[in-house]
Amino acid sequence: MRFVIQLALTNVTAKTGGPFGAAVFETKTGRLISVGVNIVEPSNCSLAHAEMVALANAHHALRHFDLGADGMPTLELVTSCEPCAMCYGAIMWSGVRKVMCGARGVDALAIGFDEAPKPKNWVMELKKRRITVTSDLCRDEAITIFQRYHRSGGRIYNARREA
């Protein structure tokens, strides 16, 4: 978790994107498969959340569209914040079997990010798909990155805000 929080911090200090980091690891060995940081603004792509980038990089590195396919190692996504609605959907289809989260969605909301609605029981929904979720890992450290981004004038880029 501290590794992905450091990715988020580096992204903020380098001014290369938002305050989010993620990585995919092989569960059994801890081997790093891929990394991702939020690059929504520099890529001009609303899909370029840290989790989406890390998952896309994992698919590319392992050369398979299903990260949970037979013969693949069991993989986990470690992310500095709980997934937004889009990333939640991607997790279900990616094939990862474990998700580890730092900050909560409400922590991202607190500085103005729109996480979009997802099921209130989203953890249970993932569990039904044999994906386990661990939350609040180094949460305070992840929140510190959000606060630093906000204090530094980092842009809060929401396509739609509630009226």
Q: Are 88 and 123 in contact (CB under 8 A)?
A: no
**Which strand ranges, in their side-by-side order, compose the sheet holding 132-134?**
32-37, 21-26, 75-81, 98-103, 132-134
Measured CA to CA in angstroms, residue 60 lies from 18, 23, 28, 120 at distances of 23, 14, 20, 32
Nearest-angstrom CA–CA distance, 1 and 138? 7
Provide the 3-class DSSP secondary structure of residue 81. Answer: strand
DSSP-assigned beta bridge partners for residue 75: 26
Q: Give the helix/strand (H/E) hosting 123.
A: helix 122-128
100 and 81 Cβ atoms separated by less than 8 Å: no
Identify whether 51 is a catalytic site residue.
Answer: yes
Spot the catalytic one: 51, 76, 82, 115. Answer: 51
* Residues designated as active site: 51
